[in-house]
A and B are shown apart, each in its own frame.
Chain A
């Protein structure tokens, strides 16, 4: 399994628990390995298998939670 990592910045988290729901949402996507979501710096790191997961889906998942991801 060849793993790649992509990073976003979400500057509008307004609550630490909200950050963890984003984390769980991303972790639920097929092909995603480790996910880090940091409420304090807005950094979102997703480790994924490029053969299974599409990074565009990550941005969509974050948006569906009501946040605006920006490429980091």
Chain B
């Protein structure tokens, strides 16, 4: 049973509001039902004092710091009203303002919930193995390299790598993914995520401030605290508006000697709804996005994202799985197996992006017992010899020499460069394969085309659906790729994208993005945070996918998508558009209210109490409207 003093302190605002309300109702009814004006006046003045005491205290501080806040204006209005004998108005103004503030405070708290949730996910303690014992320490004091034990059901206390154990982890706090992710030796885990049934030993890579969760929190805070362009505009307007209304109030008093009119003008002098509206929309949007694993950089970026006309996608790894595999091998005068073997000799040590796929396919040819299996990294595979020398030509292929013979593996451009003629039947075959969305690598031995290896990089399943959702949202889509025209065209059709640019070298992608921008479009670019960083930086809105493991992406991308989930892209774009709309709605409501109030006051339709009612109503309206974005 709580001490009544404590209860009062905790619920002071609510109690004060309720009391002043009751007194106000009491005073009004006494005045209405009896003829005792003095009693009624007395109760109303009491109501004003009870409700207004806290407000006046803050007004005093406001004046001390030379700001003109609404509390000062309300206090002045209440005192003024009492002085001219309008006790009812004084009590009503104070009560309505208290009620309004109370409701505002409670609803605003909900917009801060998303950030609050993130803060609560911060782990407190960690079980560290030190000197053979398990010691419980504050989570932020764990040092890099230390071994942390995570029991089933525990919150993972640090960022690290699993060294022993197997489990499923709910990564929702960091990536927004609701389905638990399977973790085994070598997998990365994040602080703040929740371990399920297995036990895990984790080697710490980051703790305390150096964790992904902390970076997310800092990012959300900074984003919510930054002022967007609309907010700056509104702020500047408010700074002129308040003194202007006060001058108007004094002026009108001088002209009309109508004190009530002037006092009412004072009360509507603070453009509450205008100043509170946009921040509520933006903070709600950033919070909502963060809950779903999308980190926005700030209100400015959100507003810009709301104006996106075009979304450009880097093909490989974004629209596709990024796992190129050999689809067909065709020999022209040679066995397919030999063609593959020649190709793999050339690609054995190369960093050519098709090398892995070719070597993988060649490995299947060889005696499995003689070679070692690997996760797919480029390794030495005994059985296939390496080239004597190798030259990688960026964007075109490789030129190798082996046992006195020259092997080329690459596209038409490479063959043209090396003066190799391509027989018509090879061209026709390549044309066919490319129209099917495959990429062709010609294999050339001593200047003669001996075969063609074609590869394909499968589309991600959600890709066509995601493109359609973006198109439904009124956004155009473009694919950027280094593939040749025909392959690109085929892939573009498969995924349903509006347009594409093919045969792009890395620096061309940047130029393509800039070209769209110069054409007047607001361009968003989707890619991974590392390889596509230059293009992301040039775009109006850079969207980095799979950002959870990349610290720089979290800190620099305009939108960082924590999970590697394509569906988040249309989610983020529609959220931004809805937010921008919401901001404009709030500004509209606020401006309309101000105009109507000014008109009402100046034509004497609206008095103190009415003015305060409408003012507080508009503030609550914009807050509630802004909060709709939380549930988008």
B61 & A64 in contact (Cβ 8 Å cutoff): yes
Chain B nearest CB, measured from A65 CB (Å): 6
Please pick, from B54, B62, B69, B109, the residue contacting A11 in the complex, using a CB distance under 8 A: B109
A39 at interface by CB-CB < 8 Å: yes
Number of chain B residues close to chain A: CB under 8 A: 32
B105 touches A14 (CB 8 A): yes
Of chain A, the residue at the smallest CB distance from B66 is A24
Interface of chain B: mostly helix, strand, loop or mixed = helix
When distances are taken between beta carbons in the complex, the residues of chain A under 8 Å from B272 are: 15
A40 at the interface (CB under 8 A from B): yes
Which residues of chain B from 44 to 82 have a CB within 8 Å of any chain A CB? 54, 57-58, 61-62, 64-71
B65 / chain A contacts, CB cutoff of 8 Å: 20-21, 24-25, 28
Please determine whether B279 and A16 come into contact, CB atoms closer than 8 angstroms. Answer: yes
Q: Knowing A15-B276, A21-B69 touch, does A43 contact B225 (C-beta < 8 A)?
A: yes
Is B590's CB within 8 Å of the partner chain A?
A: no
Q: Is there a chain B Cβ closer than 8 Å to A50's Cβ?
A: no
CB contacts (< 8 Å) of A24 on chain B: these are 65-67
Q: Do residues A12 and B105 form an inter-chain contact, with CB atoms below 8 A? A: yes
Chain B residue numbers with a CB within 8 Å of A14 are 101, 104-105, 108
CB contacts (< 8 Å) of B275 on chain A: these are 15-17
Is the Cβ of A17 less than 8 Å from the Cβ of B61? Answer: no
Min CB distance B288 to A, Å, is 14
Q: Does chain B have a CB within 8 A of A8?
A: no
Contact with B along A1-27 (1 / 0, CB 8 A): 000000000011111111011001100
Interface string of B109-125 (1 = CB under 8 A from A): 10010011000000000
Residue ID in chain A nearest B283 by CB atoms? A40
Q: Is B436 an interface residue (CB 8 A)?
A: no
From B54, B62, B276, A21 is in contact (CB under 8 Å) with B62
A-chain residues with CB within 8 Å of residue B270 when the two chains form the complex: 15, 17
| Contact for B67 among A12, A13, A17, A28, CB less than 8 A | A17
Q: Which residue of A lies closest to B235 (CB)?
A: A16
- A12 near B109 with CB under 8 A, answer yes
Q: Is there contact, CB below 8 Å, between B69 and A41?
A: no
B225 touches A65 (CB 8 A): no
Nearest B residue to A18 via CB reads B69
Complex CA–CA separation, A41 to B116 (angstroms):
9
Contact check, A42 vs B112: say whether CB atoms are below 8 A apart: yes
Residues of B within 8 A of A20 (CB): 65, 67, 69
Q: Give chain B residues whose Cβ lies under 8 Å from the Cβ of A21.
A: 58, 61-62, 65, 67, 69
Q: Are B225 and A66 in contact (CB under 8 A)?
A: no
A-facing residues in B547-586 (Cβ within 8 Å): none
CA–CA, A17 to B74, complex, Å? 14
Q: Which residues of B contact A41 (CB under 8 A)?
A: 112, 115, 221, 224-225, 283
Q: Which residue of B lies closest to A24 (CB)?
A: B65
B69 interface neighbour in A17, A39, A40, Cβ under 8 Å = A17
A interface list, Cβ under 8 A from B: 11-18, 20-21, 24-25, 28, 38-43, 64-66
Among all A-B residue pairs, the 4 with the closest Cβ atoms: A24-B65, A17-B69, A38-B225, A14-B104
